[in-house]
Amino acid sequence: MRNFSWHILATKMALAGLIASTPFSAYALTFESAQNIALQTAPQLKASNAQITVAQQSAIPAGELPDPKIKIGVDNLPISGPDRFNPGPGGMAMQTFALMQEFPNSDKRNARVQAANSRIAVSEMEYRIARQNIARETGQAWIAQYSIEQQIALLDKLETENKLFTKVIQAQLASGKGSITDTILPKQELARLGEMRDELIARRSQAMAQLSRWVGKAADEGVTGNLPLFQIDPQTLQSHVANRPELAAFDPKSNVLDAEIAEARASKTPDWGVELKYQRNPQDYDSVMLEFTFDLPIFSGKRQNPLIAAKVAERSALDAEREASIRERSAELANDIADLQRLQQAEQRYQTTLIPLAEEKITLSLTAWKSGKGALSEVIAARRDRLDTQLKAISISGELQQLQARLHFTYSNATAGVAQ
């Protein structure tokens, strides 16, 4: 009985390769399904898509002429004398009907069309940015929950192992070896595992709440499947910083301001209008009058020029903001690449060195205890060290995956068509 227990214990305690653990079949939400749900149901995308419609509809009348005007009135209506308020044949009142049309100069109308089309491009770019942000945040939330599920699964295995360990201790005592106090140590370790489980369950609830922000009630099903594989090439990312959607959005924004500057300058060119007037005279003769009107922008120093200067200054401010954003994103990418390299090295160190050493330490302390040359407390301490190492390894792996997901979704549009 004792040898059989030792064989089972040795088998159960060989927990190498926990970082690449099997999927959790009890849960239903894969990484791909989470992405699909988020991108189909996110209210942010509905709002952004509505803004595209707003810009498109607003562009339709941008280059059109103003609505024509109709004037109907009475001229020369007497207000005193025997014919006062008499528009009849004996008076001089004339009934008038006029049709008016204003014609803004062609440069101004063309500028308005260009500005409207550029606003459509801005809305479309903001929609792309919204999709990118949702995909990135959903991916990171899914990975965070997946990592916690791995840690909980590890505790499940260790609690099962701990029960088996208790049986081995009892077998030792039955054979006359060990101390009665040895039975306390597995109970203490089980309580410690329970405390860690409580913490992980709380963290899982928090991760689930974050994921539900993007996928709704589907987050209640948990996560399953495999972690996504992201191929990240730092040099490719560094060469495409300026192509990130939030930076590329400066181009249509600049086009809007360029068009507004052109419209402001076109306001120095006179607009004109035409009026066709028909008059009916009580003396039985009618008349027609054709009139033209022209704007006189003769005070441009106080009217048009300040507006032009304001738009030019706004354009300069946008250029400066673009440069500041490029520098900020470049520094952010440099920090991310440094973290990426650190986490990759840490993950490899845990898998190739720290976890194997923790396993070896358990094997040595277990052998020493079995032969009576070591204390049970040393075995418990070795198991505790291994648990901490494995949990840290899972945490490092999850942090690395989250960073890779952030870089992937941040630059997926920027590096479109570039082999990575």
pLDDT of the residue at 101: 95
**CA–CA separation, 252 and 121 (whole Å):** 6
Is 79 among the domain residues?
A: no
What are φ and ψ of residue 95, in 5° steps?
-85, 135
Is 353 among the domain residues?
A: yes
pLDDT of the residue at 181: 66
**CA–CA separation, 401 and 143 (whole Å):** 7
Is 287 among the domain residues?
A: no
Quote the pTM value: 0.79
Give me the sign of the Cα torsion angle 81, 85, 87, 89: negative
pLDDT of the residue at 291: 93
What are φ and ψ of residue 189, in 5° steps?
-65, -35
pLDDT of the residue at 21: 41
User: Which residues are CB-neighbours of 298 under 8 A, at least 6 positions away?
Assistant: none
The domain total for the chain is 1
Is 280 among the domain residues?
A: no
First-to-final CA distance of the chain: 57
Is 82 among the domain residues?
A: no
Is 201 among the domain residues?
A: yes
Is 291 among the domain residues?
A: no
- For residue 322, the SS3 value is helix
User: Which secondary structure element, helix H or strand E, spans residue 287, and what is its range?
Assistant: strand 286-294
User: Per-residue confidence of the chain (420 residues) as pLDDT tens digits?
Assistant: 333 333 333 333 333 333 334 333 344 799 999 999 999 999 999 999 999 999 999 999 999 999 999 999 888 777 776 667 666 655 667 888 999 999 999 999 999 999 999 999 999 999 999 999 999 999 999 999 999 999 999 988 887 777 766 776 666 666 666 666 666 777 777 788 889 899 999 999 999 999 999 999 999 888 998 888 888 999 999 888 988 999 999 999 999 999 999 999 999 999 999 999 998 876 667 889 999 999 988 888 888 999 999 999 999 999 999 999 999 999 999 999 999 999 999 999 999 999 999 999 989 988 887 777 877 778 888 888 999 999 999 999 999 999 999 999 998 876 654 433
Q: The domain containing residue 17 runs over which residues? A: 2-67+106-268+299-411
Is 89 among the domain residues?
A: no
**CA–CA separation, 410 and 363 (whole Å):** 45
User: Which residues are CB-neighbours of 121 under 8 A, at least 6 positions away?
Assistant: 251, 252, 255
Output the domain CATH number for residue 200. Answer: 1.20.1600.10
Q: Which two tokens stand for residue 404?
A: 């890779």
Q: Which residues pair with 99 in a beta bridge?
A: 70, 276
User: Which residues are CB-neighbours of 375 under 8 A, at least 6 positions away?
Assistant: 369
**CA–CA separation, 410 and 35 (whole Å):** 15
**CA–CA separation, 116 and 236 (whole Å):** 34
